[in-house]
Amino acid sequence: MGTILKGMSRVRWDELTHAYGSAAEVPGRLSRVAWGDARTSASALSDLGLWLGELAVFDATAVAVPFLWDLAVTESVTSRVGVIELLQTILEHGNPPKIEVRHAAHRAVLDGRSMAEVLARDEDAAVQAAARDLVTVMDSHACESCRPS
């Protein structure tokens, strides 16, 4: 697998959940985003969006976020803009009955702040714009699960 997505095989994905059940297929989709052509990558990213962030966040979301950051900063990934947008979507969504899950997912995105700042200076103008939008959302993020007690 190389250096991107390192450690992904050590995660017990089948014990985690996403919007539609078991997260066992998440690593395959992450791999397709990493090494697929533009069409394959976009399709896999669409699945990940539905599973991990568009409806709500789940325990698999928090575990997947570091791998999404890995994809966002890897220049060979064809859908980096979509990955950055998914990170923003995750930060903007929650899982009200499971506040600890929302906090973990949001914290995982917020912990990538330094990577977002690097991406905001990327050579690709579309990556820059998406990263700047993400930094803006990070700066204004104040959901109840993330506020200091």
For residue range 8-52, list pLDDT tens digits in order.
999 999 999 999 999 999 999 999 999 999 999 999 999 999 999
Per the CB < 8 A criterion, the answer to whether 5 and 64 are in contact is no
Higher-confidence residue of 1 and 22: namely: 22
Strands 21-22 vs 17-18: parallel, antiparallel or unpaired: antiparallel
For residue 22, list its beta bridge partners: 17
Q: Model confidence at 148, in pLDDT bands (50, 70, 90)?
A: low
- pLDDT of 144 higher than 80: no
pTM of the model: 0.93
Buried b (16+ CB within 10 A) or exposed e, 80-117: bbbbbbbbbbbbebbbeebeebbbbbbebbbebeebbe
The CATH classification of domain 12-139, taken from the options 1.25.10.10, 1.10.10.10, 3.50.4.10, 3.40.50.300: 1.25.10.10
Q: Specify the higher pLDDT residue, 100 or 68.
A: 68
User: pLDDT, tens digit, for every residue of 45-86?
Assistant: 999 999 998 888 899 999 999 999 999 999 999 999 999 999
CA torsion through residues 99, 105, 111, 113, sign = negative
